[in-house]
Amino acid sequence: MTSDLAVDVRGLRKSYGDQTVLDGVDLAVRAGTVTALLGPNGAGKTTTVGVLSTLLRPDAGTVRVAGHDVVAEPGAVRAAIGVTGQVSAVDDLLTGAENLRLMAALHHLGRREGRERTDALLAQFGLTDAAAKPVSTWSGGMRRKLDLAMTLVGSPSVVFLDEPTTGLDPRSRRTLWDEVRALVAAGTTILLTTQYLEEADQLADRVAVLDGGRVVAEGTPAELKAVHGAGSLDDVFLRLTEPSTTDTTGTTGTTATTPKEVA
């Protein structure tokens, strides 16, 4: 793995029975950056995150995260990552502080260190005033921030965010964007899957579009829009994932091929 890559995926394949979900995925995420992984429903985004986080075993290819092979060194990978999934991992019956202290215990932090980490994260996410209240009384935006805070208890160097703002109102979504920016500014690497193209445009240093089991385009948001003569990532996304597309544009360093060309 190149030293400046936090995630290095080459030729990743994954099938369920006779259904091929990932068909030779290549993906590189540089340390200290945000990469957005986009794709239509069923494109394999969540499966990709599952492999990267060692929850799923790849059928073929090499996958390295934080310098470790996900098959040969799963423990080392898990120690280096944090994952925020589509479904909230918080326990509604516990308070916010109790959720974080439980996560600290799972990370084998001592009692004092766990309390200090809990207090720091509550303050970081603006949740201190609600810390002693059951999470069942919290708003959706607060719960999602707690979800992300729990992901950070172990101070991961790489964080996978699988559609983290789904269901949030615009204000809560933008608040979470600010938290993501702060994490990256502090050196954390983020791989983000999202259905919100504006989110990718706002947050991502690079964007990869997954369709038909492969990455069909990759580059900065500006590069992708320029290559496809598009005014927004929405337009780029629609052109790349439209089954009948015939766009054959391609540039060195910014893959801009179509599903037909890579099938």
For residue range 120-133, what is the model confidence (pLDDT) as tens digits?
Answer: 999 999 999 999 99
For residue range 32-53, what is the model confidence (pLDDT) as tens digits?
Answer: 999 999 999 888 999 999 999 9
Reported residue count of the chain is: 263
Distance separating alpha carbons of residues 228 and 11, to the nearest angstrom: 26
pLDDT for the residue 81:
96
Instruction: Select from 170, 118, 114, 119 the least CA-distant residue to 141.
Output: 170
For residue range 133-154, what is the model confidence (pLDDT) as tens digits?
Answer: 999 999 988 998 999 999 999 9
Query: Which residue reads 């075993």 in tokens?
Result: 57
**CATH no. for residue 101?**
3.40.50.300
pLDDT for the residue 248:
43
What's the structural domain count of the chain? 1
Its sign, for the CA torsion 21, 26, 28, 34, is negative
What residues in the chain have per-residue pLDDT under 50? 1, 245-263
The 3-class SS string of the chain reads: CCCCEEEEEEEEEEEECCEEEEEEEEEEEECCCEEEEECCCCCCHHHHHHHHCCCCCCCEEEEEECCEECCCCHHHHHHHEEEECCCCCCCCCCEHHHHHHHHHHHCCCCHHHHHHHHHHHHHHCCCHHHCCCEHHHCCHHHHHHHHHHHHCCCCCCEEEEECCCCCCCHHHHHHHHHHHHHHHHCCCEEEEECCCHHHHHHHCCEEEEEECCEEEEEECHHHHHHHCCCCCHHHHHHHHHCCCCCCCCCECCEEECCHHHHC
pLDDT for the residue 244:
52
pLDDT for the residue 91:
93
- Give the domain extent around 215: 5-262
